[in-house]
Structure 1
Amino acid sequence: MKFDSITTITGIHDSDSIIARILIARGIPKEQHNSFLNPQHPEMDGAYNSGIGQNELKKVIRRIKVAKQHKESVVIYADYDVDGITSAAILWRTLKAYGLTVMPFIPQRSQGYGFSDIGLDSVLAKYGPSLIIAVDHGINESAHITRLKSKGVDVMVLDHHEQNDGERLVDACAVIHTTLLSAAGISYMVATAFSNESLSTDNLVLAGIASLADVIPQRGLARALSYHALRLLSRVNLPGIAALMAQAGLKQDKKAYTSYDIGYLIAPRINAAGRLGDPLVALRLLCTTNPTKAREYAQSLELLNRKRQDLLKETLPIAYELVKEQTGKRFRCIASPLFNEGIIGLLAGRLMHELQVPVFVGSERNNGMIKGSARSIDGVNMMPLMQQSGSLLLSFGGHEKAGGFSLSKDNMDAFIASLDTALTAMDGHVFEPVQHTDLTLPLPNITTALALALESLEPYGEQNQKPLFMSHDVLIVDRQPVGRGGTHMRVVLKDIREGTIVKGIYFSASQEFITMSINKPTSIVYQVECNRWKGTKAQVMIQSVY
Structure 2
Amino acid sequence: MIPVLEQRKIPAQFASWLWEKGIRTEEELTEFFNPDVTAFHDPFLMHDMAKGITRIQEGIANGEKILIYGDYDADGITSTTVMKEAIEMLGGEPIIYIPDRFMDGYGPNEQVYRYFIEEQGVQLIITVDNGVAGYKPVKYAMEAGVDVVITDHHELPAQLPEALAVIHPRHPLGNYPFGDLAGVGVAFKVATALLGSNPLELLDLVAIGTIADLVSLTGENRALVTLGLQVFRETDRIGLVKLCEVAEIDLYKVDETNIGFGIAPRLNALGRLEDATPGVHLLTTFDEEQAEELAHFVQQQNEKRQNIVKQIGQEALAMVEQMPNHSLYVLAKKDWHEGVLGIVASRIVEATGKPALVLGINDKGIAKGSGRSVGQLNLYEALCEEKDLFLAFGGHHMAAGFSLEATLLPELQERLDAYIEREEIDLTKGKEVTVLSAPDLSDIQLEFIESLAKLGPFGTDNEAPCFLFENYQMQQVKQIGADKTHLKLVAEKNQQTIDVLAFNKGQEIEEFMTVNPLAFIGELQINEWNDRKKPQVLLKDYEVKGLQVFDYRGKKQSLTQVREQDALYVYWDEKVKPNTGDTWQYRADLAGLTPRETVVLVDCPVNSQEVRQVIDITKASRLYCFFLSEEEYYLNGLPNRQKFARLYQLTRQVEEVDIRYKLPQVASALKLSQKELIFMIQVFFELGFVRIDNGVMKKVVDPLPHPLEESPSYKERQQRIQTEKQLLYSQPQELYTWLAQ
Structures share a fold, TM > 0.5?
yes
Q: Compute the displacement of 1:468 (Å).
A: 2.0
Q: Compute the displacement of 1:23 (Å).
A: 2.2
| Aligned pairs for 1:334-345 within 5 A | 334-345=331-342
Residue 327 (structure 2) aligned to one of 319, 323, 330:
330
Say if 2:161 is the partner of 1:170.
yes
Residue 95 (structure 1) aligned to one of 73, 87, 91:
87
Is residue 451–residue 530 contact of structure 1 (8 Å, CA) maintained in 2? yes
SS in 2 for 1:421: helix
Say if 2:128 is the partner of 1:129.
no
Partner of 1:465: 463
* Aligned-partner Cα distance in 2 for 1:440–1:526: 11
Amino acid of the structure 1 residue aligned with 2:398: K
Partner of 2:73: 81
Identical amino acids, percent of aligned pairs: 28
* Aligned-partner Cα distance in 2 for 1:128–1:417: 49
For the structure 1 residues 540 and 418, does the alpha-carbon distance in structure 2 shift closer, same or farther, using more than 3 Å as the test? same
Q: Compute the displacement of 1:441 (Å).
A: 4.0
Is residue 44–residue 50 contact of structure 2 (8 Å, CA) maintained in 1? no
- Cα distance per residue 1:78-137 (max 9 Å; x no partner): 111111111111111221231224100111111211122332233224422121111111
For the structure 1 residues 346 and 480, does the alpha-carbon distance in structure 2 shift closer, same or farther, using more than 3 Å as the test? closer
For the structure 1 residues 527 and 410, does the alpha-carbon distance in structure 2 shift closer, same or farther, using more than 3 Å as the test? same
| Aligned pairs for 1:28-427 within 5 A | 28-31=23-26, 32-41=28-37, 44=38, 47-48=39-40, 53-110=45-102, 111-164=104-157, 167-178=158-169, 179-195=179-195, 200-252=199-251, 254=252, 256-427=253-424
For the structure 1 residues 249 and 448, does the alpha-carbon distance in structure 2 shift closer, same or farther, using more than 3 Å as the test? closer
Question: What is the number of residues matched between the two proteins?
Answer: 517
* Aligned-partner Cα distance in 2 for 1:145–1:428: 38
Amino acid of the structure 2 residue aligned with 1:281: P
* Aligned-partner Cα distance in 1 for 2:249–2:471: 39
Q: Compute the displacement of 1:146 (Å).
A: 1.0
Amino acid of the structure 2 residue aligned with 1:287: T
Q: Compute the displacement of 1:249 (Å).
A: 1.0
* Aligned-partner Cα distance in 2 for 1:532–1:446: 16
TM-score (norm 1): 0.88
Say if 2:15 is the partner of 1:16.
no
Q: Compute the displacement of 1:16 (Å).
A: 2.3
For the structure 1 residues 50 and 400, does the alpha-carbon distance in structure 2 shift closer, same or farther, using more than 3 Å as the test? farther
Is residue 315–residue 338 contact of structure 1 (8 Å, CA) maintained in 2? no
* Aligned-partner Cα distance in 1 for 2:221–2:272: 25
For the structure 1 residues 271 and 36, does the alpha-carbon distance in structure 2 shift closer, same or farther, using more than 3 Å as the test? same
SS in 2 for 1:264: helix
* Aligned-partner Cα distance in 1 for 2:423–2:444: 40
For the structure 1 residues 184 and 336, does the alpha-carbon distance in structure 2 shift closer, same or farther, using more than 3 Å as the test? same
Q: Compute the displacement of 1:362 (Å).
A: 1.3
- Cα distance per residue 1:126-170 (max 9 Å; x no partner): 422121111111112212211111111111111111123xx3121
For the structure 1 residues 176 and 52, does the alpha-carbon distance in structure 2 shift closer, same or farther, using more than 3 Å as the test? farther
| Aligned pairs for 1:469-484 within 5 A | 469-476=467-474, 478-479=475-476, 481=478, 483=480
Q: Compute the displacement of 1:435 (Å).
A: 6.5
* Aligned-partner Cα distance in 2 for 1:49–1:438: 32
Amino acid of the structure 1 residue aligned with 2:70: A
Partner of 1:10: none
Amino acid of the structure 2 residue aligned with 1:170: P
Is residue 72–residue 271 contact of structure 2 (8 Å, CA) maintained in 1? yes
Amino acid of the structure 2 residue aligned with 1:511: I
RMSD: 2.6
Say if 2:426 is the partner of 1:429.
yes
Residue 451 (structure 1) aligned to one of 449, 452, 460:
449
Q: Compute the displacement of 1:15 (Å).
A: 5.2
* Aligned-partner Cα distance in 2 for 1:351–1:29: 39
Say if 2:521 is the partner of 1:528.
no
Is residue 50–residue 181 contact of structure 1 (8 Å, CA) maintained in 2? no
Shifted more, 527-536 versus 465-474: the winner is 527-536
* Aligned-partner Cα distance in 1 for 2:212–2:79: 13
SS in 2 for 1:175: strand
TM-score (norm 2): 0.66
* Aligned-partner Cα distance in 1 for 2:320–2:110: 35
* Aligned-partner Cα distance in 2 for 1:380–1:504: 35
Amino acid of the structure 2 residue aligned with 1:168: Q
Amino acid of the structure 2 residue aligned with 1:183: G
Shifted more, 144-153 versus 365-374: the winner is 365-374
Residue 511 (structure 1) aligned to one of 488, 509, 514:
509
Amino acid of the structure 1 residue aligned with 2:261: Y
Amino acid of the structure 2 residue aligned with 1:249: E
For the structure 1 residues 281 and 95, does the alpha-carbon distance in structure 2 shift closer, same or farther, using more than 3 Å as the test? same
Amino acid of the structure 2 residue aligned with 1:103: I
Partner of 1:7: none
* Aligned-partner Cα distance in 1 for 2:30–2:353: 34
Amino acid of the structure 2 residue aligned with 1:67: G
Structure 2 gap ranges (5+): 1-8, 170-178, 545-741
* Aligned-partner Cα distance in 1 for 2:25–2:327: 38
Is residue 478–residue 509 contact of structure 2 (8 Å, CA) maintained in 1? no
Structure 1 gap ranges (5+): 1-13
* Aligned-partner Cα distance in 1 for 2:532–2:405: 59
For the structure 1 residues 403 and 202, does the alpha-carbon distance in structure 2 shift closer, same or farther, using more than 3 Å as the test? farther
Q: Compute the displacement of 1:74 (Å).
A: 0.9
Bigger Rg over Cα:
2
Q: Compute the displacement of 1:328 (Å).
A: 2.5
SS in 2 for 1:397: strand
* Aligned-partner Cα distance in 1 for 2:263–2:151: 24
* Aligned-partner Cα distance in 2 for 1:320–1:51: 46
Is residue 57–residue 194 contact of structure 2 (8 Å, CA) maintained in 1? no
Is residue 78–residue 134 contact of structure 1 (8 Å, CA) maintained in 2? yes
Partner of 2:681: none
Amino acid of the structure 1 residue aligned with 2:421: T
Is residue 269–residue 302 contact of structure 1 (8 Å, CA) maintained in 2? yes
For the structure 1 residues 427 and 20, does the alpha-carbon distance in structure 2 shift closer, same or farther, using more than 3 Å as the test? farther
For the structure 1 residues 391 and 28, does the alpha-carbon distance in structure 2 shift closer, same or farther, using more than 3 Å as the test? farther
Q: Compute the displacement of 1:30 (Å).
A: 4.3
Amino acid of the structure 2 residue aligned with 1:71: G
Amino acid of the structure 2 residue aligned with 1:77: Y
Q: Compute the displacement of 1:410 (Å).
A: 3.5
- Cα distance per residue 1:150-208 (max 9 Å; x no partner): 111111111111123xx3121111111134111101001111234498x9234211111
SS in 2 for 1:394: strand
Is residue 443–residue 471 contact of structure 1 (8 Å, CA) maintained in 2? no
Q: Compute the displacement of 1:376 (Å).
A: 1.4
* Aligned-partner Cα distance in 2 for 1:362–1:522: 38
Q: Compute the displacement of 1:332 (Å).
A: 1.2
Q: Compute the displacement of 1:263 (Å).
A: 0.9
